[in-house]
Amino acid sequence: MAQPYKRILLKLSGESLMGNQAYGIDSERLSLYAEEIIAIAKGGVEVAVVIGGGNIYRGMQAEGSGIDRVQGDHMGMLATVINSLALQSALEAKGHKTRLLSAIKMEQIAEPFIRRRAVRHLEKGRIVIFGAGTGNPYFTTDTAASLRAIEIEADVILKGTRVDGIYTADPEKDKNAVKYERITFAEVYEKGLNVMDMTAFTLCKENNLPIIVFDMNKPGNLGRLLKGEQVGTLVEL
State the angle between helix axes of 115-123 and 141-151 in degrees (0 to 180), rounded to the nearest 10. Answer: 70
What value does the mean pLDDT of the chain take?
94
Three-state secondary structure call for residue 78: helix
Q: Do strands 127-131 and 46-51 pair parallel, antiparallel, or not at all (unpaired)? A: parallel
For the chain, the 3-state helix, strand and coil shares in percent, each to the nearest 5, are 40, 20, 40
**Distances in whole angstroms, Cα of residue 136 to Cα of each of 24, 74, 140, 161:** 24, 8, 9, 24
Please say whether the structural domain 7-236 has been given the CATH code 3.40.50.11540.
no
**Distances in whole angstroms, Cα of residue 214 to Cα of each of 150, 151, 231:** 20, 23, 6
Name the residue with higher pLDDT: 61 or 36. 36
Percent of the chain with pLDDT over 70: 96
Question: Domain coordinates of the chain in residue numbers?
Answer: 7-236
Name the residue with higher pLDDT: 87 or 161. 87
Residue type, 227: K
pLDDT, position 178: 93
Q: Mean pLDDT across the stretch 163-173?
A: 89
Q: What's the first-to-final CA gap in the chain, in angstroms? A: 24
pLDDT, position 101: 98
Q: Mean pLDDT across the stretch 94-105?
A: 98
What digits encode the pLDDT tens for the residues 12-55?
999 999 988 888 999 999 999 999 999 999 999 999 999 999 99
pLDDT, position 61: 67
